[in-house]
Amino acid sequence: MACTVEGIPRSHGFRMPGEFEPHRGCWMLWPERRDNWRLGAKPAEQAFTEVASAIARFEPVTMGVSAGRFRQACACLPPEVRVVEMSCNDSWMRDVGPTFVVNDSGGLRLVDWQFNAWGGLNGGLYFPWDQDCLVACKVGEIEAVDRYRAPLVLEGGAIHVDGDGTLITTEQCLLNPNRNPGLDRREIEELLREYLDVRTVIWLGQGVFNDETDGHVDNLCCFVRPGVVALSWTEDRSDPQYPISTDALKRLETATDARGRRLQVHKIHQPDPVLISREECLGVDRVEGTLPRREGDRLAASYINFYIANGAVIAPQFGDARDPAALAALAGLFPDREVVGVYAREILLGGGNIHCITQQQPLGGTRREGRAG
Ligand code: KQY
């Protein structure tokens, strides 16, 4: 059995590793909501199966599935994907799952954040979210990993770390009054330091235009390795994304990380605007309290929302003319990994992308040379 650990990870020698560090495997959740995924979630299930299959070529994948969908998910997924029964309100493992932390002697624990469905009753995306709140704990029980309960509303997609003391996030999300209204920037930074063992927090402003998560950083910018980030970009000055990306660029170029390095920023041009079609929005069940899908609404499409697996990068594709350039850019940034594109429009229609539906479980910590205490 796993237990709840009193105290804070930093003082016990635990830190959140970068996603590019070695993994034990990847966790996902099967699409659940008919008021989020169109056509009874059939197209989404196909897309989730493609993502799981792509990742499973490189590391073990576990899919959590609610009881009612269990047999059907088993029939869809390839045998190399482990399927476990796990209730959830929907399928966003990045946000409802644990954040794993490691220490230098092979220990692994997890941080179980507070979750309020991206804003609770003040702009949240659905109600209720009681089952989502149990997911991190259930993952810990299955893996026998002890957990810290963090007194902070935070989704995994709201942060990226370099594993070397630096975290990036957005003001739009983490300072949003619908997450932690009682905490100011300094108090939030202190909790991030304590629970993830980071020393430097780099604040970007807004997330990707129209991102319904209130601007998760994982759709805008991520670490490729310490000192190097990728940023979603547009050259179109009339696009509402332009001021967002230029502001982020300015902040990244003037920031220094926890080791005093200047960041190298690589721009990856976004696809042309992706809009919801009439047919797509008609396929979604309308339920009061869930963010409605409307014809013509722009989706927050970005190539940054990729998953880094052992030896691979699994990247979203949109059927856009810029898809090949994005894959080539990622191949240049990750020369030692295979870059695998997965057509991800169906995931985007649900409000996120590949990074949002995955959560890495790192290998237990290994001693890394040169790491400052
Ligand atoms: O991390 C994410 N992008 C989650 C989005 C939730 C969308 C619910 N419609």
pLDDT digits (tens, 9 = 90+) for 301-352: 999 999 999 999 999 999 999 999 999 999 999 999 999 999 999 999 999 9
Atom of ligand 1 nearest to the CA of 92: 4
Question: Which whole number is the average pLDDT over 245-251?
Answer: 98
**Is a pLDDT exceeding 50 seen at residue 367?**
no
The rounded Å distance from CA 128 to ligand 1 centre is 15
Q: Closest residue (by CA) to atom 3 of ligand 1?
A: 352
Nearest protein Cα to ligand 1, atom 7: 351
What is the pLDDT at residue 288? 86
Q: Residue 365's pLDDT band (boundaries 50, 70, 90)?
A: low
Mean pLDDT across the chain = 96
CA distances from 199 to 38, 178, 189, 193, 325 (A): 42, 25, 9, 6, 35
Q: Give Cβ neighbours of residue 162 (< 8 Å, ≥ 6 apart).
A: 18, 223, 225, 226, 227, 257, 258
- What's the confidence (pLDDT) of residue 371? 35
105 pLDDT band, cuts 50/70/90, is: very high
Task: Output the CA 356–ligand 1 centroid distance in Å.
Answer: 7
Ligand 1 atom index nearest CA of 350: 9
Distance CA 109, CA 125 (A): 29
Per the listing, tokens 């699994």 go with 314
Residue with CA nearest ligand 1 atom 8: 351
Q: Encoding tokens for residue 147?
A: 């957990």
Q: How confident is the model at residue 182 (pLDDT cuts 50, 70, 90)?
A: very high
**Residue whose CB lies within 8 A of the most ligand 1 atoms, among 28, 32, 95, for a mutation test:** 95
Q: List the catalytic residue out of 133, 173, 221, 356.
A: 356
Closest residue to atom 1 of ligand 1, CA basis: 356
pLDDT of residue 372: 37
- Report the separation in Å between the CA atom of 373 and the middle of ligand 1, taken as the mean of its atom positions: 35
356 is catalytic: yes
Mean pLDDT of 15-23: 98
Closest-CA residue, ligand 1 atom 2, reads 352
Cα of 106 from ligand 1 centre, angstroms: 32
DSSP label at 127?
Answer: S
Query: What local confidence, expressed as pLDDT, does residue 331 receive?
Result: 98
Length of the chain: 373
Residue in the structure block whose two tokens are 């220990």: 107
**Residue 272 in contact with residue 266, Cβ under 8 Å?**
no
Q: Which atom of ligand 1 is nearest to the CA of 219?
A: 3
What's the rounded mean pLDDT across residues 247-254? 98
- Are the C-beta atoms of 148 and 98 separated by less than 8 Å? no
Phi and psi at residue 240, to the nearest 5°: -60, -15
Q: What end-to-end distance do the CA atoms of the chain give, in Å?
A: 30
Give distance in angstroms: CA of 212 to centre of ligand 1.
7
CA-based Rg of the chain, rounded to a whole angstrom? 19
Give the distance (Å) from ligand 1 centre to CA of residue 6: 30
> Which ligand 1 atom sits nearest the alpha carbon of residue 218?
1
In contact, 303 and 331? CB cutoff 8 Å: no
Displacement of CA 95 from its chain's centroid (Å) = 6
Name residues contacting ligand 1 (CB within 6 A).
36, 92, 94-95, 125, 157, 212-213, 216, 291, 350-352, 356
For range 152-166, the mean pLDDT: 98
Dist. CA 45–CA 113, nearest whole Å? 27
From residue 19, alpha-carbon distances to 83, 107, 118, 162, 210 in Å are: 23, 17, 22, 8, 25
Task: Check pLDDT > 90 for residue 205.
Answer: yes
Give the Å distance between the CA of 262 and the centre of ligand 1. Answer: 31
Mean pLDDT over 194-213 rounds to 98
Helix residue ranges, H only, 167-240: 171-174, 185-196
Residue 370 is predicted with a pLDDT of 39
Inter-residue contact 124 to 116 (CB < 8 Å): yes
Confidence of residue 291 (pLDDT cuts 50, 70, 90): confident
Cα 152 to Cα 106, 117, 272, distances in angstroms: 26, 13, 36
User: Taking a C-beta distance cutoff of 8 angstroms, is the pair 359, 94 a contact?
Assistant: yes
Token digits for 182? 């009682």
Helix (H, G, I), strand (E, B) or coil at 16: coil
Are 45 and 230 in contact, with CB atoms under 8 Å apart? no
Report the relative pairing of strands 221-225 and 228-233 from DSSP bridges.
Answer: antiparallel
Best mutation site among 356, 358, 359 for ligand 1, i.e. most ligand atoms within 8 A of its Cβ?
A: 356
CB 153 within 8 A of CB 111: no
Q: Is the pLDDT of residue 290 over 90?
A: no
Atom of ligand 1 nearest to the CA of 90: 8
